[in-house]
Amino acid sequence: MAIDLFSAEAGHYAAVRPHYPDALIDWVAAAAPARDSVWDCGTGNGQAAIALAAHFAQVEASDLSAAQIAHAKPHPRVRYRAQPAETTGYPDQAFDAVCVAQALHWFDMSRFAPELDRVLKPGGLFAAWGYGGFSLNPAFDAVLRRTVLDRVDAFWAPQNQLLWGGYRAVPLPYPDLDVPAIRMTVRADLAGVIAYLKSWSAVRLCTEAQGDAFLRDAAEALLPVWGALPTDEQELDFSFYLRAVRKPA
């Protein structure tokens, strides 16, 4: 069964989630056998779909959450649909590439894999990627661990382990491809970091159960180890994972 943990805060999610590296999107476009059509599955607020539209003639973008689709950014080459990943209305062999950004761990793979095989062209590319935690400096990282990460650890859904393992435990129907090492960095001020943390499903569930006072305490504790004025932007280094396979021609 597909899982939707993000509809309730779709607008906030769209506003604060980081964008994907240009090097990643460039690689996907280069690895696809053609650039006529791509499906961004589990599109969320459409960040990957918009990026893919710079390379592909047509982008189909779908998400289980109608609320997420409602907050997606329009683009003339992107067509959004609210539908589950495992059952779609797309034609057979419709796509040169299928991409899943920050969402594969929520899919029912026993049903998604046959759907992927149905809609992907022979020789087509499937790429799944995501990011985990971020680092600034040792002092900041230690305070973040103590004030936020340890606090919300019990609220993470077990599916997140698949993401943090680089999707290696996810069964895919085709042989793996060699993929490049992608670095994902994001510039943000301290308020932006706190806003991003609030978009985490585990943080939301924790605040629903225990209140949000711990986030205010975290912001105060992080201020001295930010290393700059709180309004100054710093570069955060994210853990990033990419896995790709190709359908036999």
Whether 143 maps to a domain, the answer reads: yes
What rounded mean pLDDT belongs to the chain? 92
Sequence letter at residue 185? T
Question: pLDDT by residue (tens digit) across 19-62?
Answer: 899 999 999 999 999 999 999 999 998 999 999 999 999 999 99
Residue 6: is its pLDDT beyond 60? no
Provide the CA 33 distance to its chain's centre, in angstroms: 24
**pLDDT for the residue 95:** 98
Q: Is 85 a member of any domain?
A: yes
CA neighbours closer than 13 Å in the CB half-sphere of residue 62: 19
Give the structural domain span for 44.
Answer: 10-246
Residue 3 lies in a domain: no
Percent of the chain with pLDDT over 70: 93
Dmax over CA atoms of the chain, in Å, equals: 56
Q: Is residue 2 part of a domain?
A: no
224-249 pLDDT, tens digit per residue, is 999 889 999 999 999 999 999 999 99
Instruction: Print burial letters for 187-205: b (CB count within 10 Å at least 16), e (below 16).
Output: ebbbebbbebbbbbbbbbb
CATH classification of the domain holding 180: 3.40.50.150
pLDDT band of residue 2 (cuts 50, 70, 90) is very low
Q: What is the DSSP letter of 146?
A: I
> What is the C-alpha separation between 57 and 76, in angstroms, rounded?
10
pLDDT in tens, 70-97: 989 999 999 999 999 999 999 999 999 9
Per-residue pLDDT at 1 exceeds 80: no
The pLDDT value recorded for residue 77 is: 97
At residue 12, does pLDDT exceed 60?
A: no
Whether the predicted pLDDT of 183 surpasses 80: yes
Domain assignment present for residue 172? The answer is: yes
Do the beta carbons of residue 90 and residue 61 sit within 8 Å? no
Q: Count up the domains in the chain and report the number.
A: 1
Backbone phi, then psi, for 219, in 5-degree steps? -60, -40
Q: Is residue 5 part of a domain?
A: no
Residues 141-177 have pLDDT tens digits of 999 999 999 999 999 999 999 999 999 999 999 999 9
Q: Tokens representing 198?
A: 């609030």
pLDDT surpasses 80 at 18: yes
Task: Give a yes or no: residue 82 inside a domain.
Answer: yes
Q: Is there a domain that residue 45 lies in? A: yes
Going by the DSSP 8-state scheme, the letter that residue 20 receives in this structure is P
Q: CB 165: neighbour CB atoms within 10 A?
A: 13
